Amino acid sequence: MVVFQKTLRNSISCTGVGLHGGKLINMKLAPAPVNSGIVFKRTDVDPSVSEIPAQYNTVTDLKMCTTVENAAGTKVATVEHLMAALSGCGVDNVLVELDGPEVPVMDGSSAPFVFLIECADIVEQDSPRRYIKVLKEVEVSDGEAKATLSPSDNISVAFEIDFDNPRIGKQNCSYSLRNGTFKNELSRARTFGFLGEFEQLKKLGLAKGGSLENAIVLSGTDILNEEGLRYDDEFVRHKALDAVGDLYLAGAPIIGEFYGFRSGHALNNKLLHAFFADEDAWCYTTEAPVRIANVGGAHWPAKKAAAPATD
């Protein structure tokens, strides 16, 4: 089955705080032509050096977030939550205009970006969508952490975390990304961290925009956010969300299963480099993945949505 590329029908704008710089940033999502992909454009720099393709090989900084950079040194940080929303909504081509060096953090999840995309409306274009099909398993590791891409007839993500903090502990999830799964099960999961880490980052001049409005903050085993968690397993769902965004830097949807164990932005990007370096591991195709999916992951059955947390 062949599906067609998609872009936005209309432009749409928003304003939000940058997580690390703490400054207000204006962002506009605009329609883009076929085969242009996702492109970031800094409107506050010289137009000749303003554009940065959203690709795994333009990633230059992976501390605390995913940052893309062009040859001229123009950067855009914290792209992963927007990239995840574009992936989950099936948007292939869009121009992202920013008047600062970061994508606004919004509420720390992808849900505000999904809302913007839906408000702008999605429209089909006159060229087939191109996919990247996994032909053999590729795995990378860093200590106990690992990330894997395996052959599958689906686009799916599985993740496992294991924190010493008993409030988080061990959590796992597995989702087949079809029929609104990303929006319904992953998009609202927020980034998280510990109070001591945020305080230390702010002393280093980072996370200036971080607050209880855009992150889950833990102090010991206590969650400081008054409203509590959106899901009992919101922590692992957010790590899966991050992986969806990082993987969309491949430049096209990947037909296969991603599995991450304690993985993060750096290991996710390392996996893409290893994957594309092995020419026997992948191929391009315009044949869309099966619609009636085998929803079970290679590592455990697909997880039903957890009940919303009540604490």
Please give the Cα distance from 54 to 36 (Å, whole number): 10
Strand 94-98, strand 38-42: pairing: parallel
**Amino acid at residue number 278:** D
DSSP letter at 73? -
Three-state SS across 205-216? CCCCCCCCCCCE
Catalytic residue among 81, 265, 273, 299: 265
Sign of the CA dihedral with 290 first, then 292, 298, and 304 last: positive
Q: Which helix (H) or strand (E) holds 220?
A: none
Sign of the CA dihedral with 215 first, then 221, 226, and 231 last: positive
**Is 265 a residue of the active site?**
yes
**What is the distance, to the nearest Å, from the Cα of residue 195 to the centroid of all Cα atoms in its chain?**
24
What are the residues whose beta carbons fall under 8 Å from the beta carbon of 79, sequence distance 6 or more? Answer: 40, 54, 65, 66, 67, 68, 103, 245
State phi, psi for 112 to the nearest 5 degrees: -60, -35
Beta pairing partners, 148: 139, 259
Instruction: Count CB-CB contacts under 10 A for residue 94.
Output: 25
Structure tokens at 95: 């121009």
Write down how long the chain is: 311
CA nearest 186: which of 215, 226, 158? Answer: 158
Active-site residue set: 265
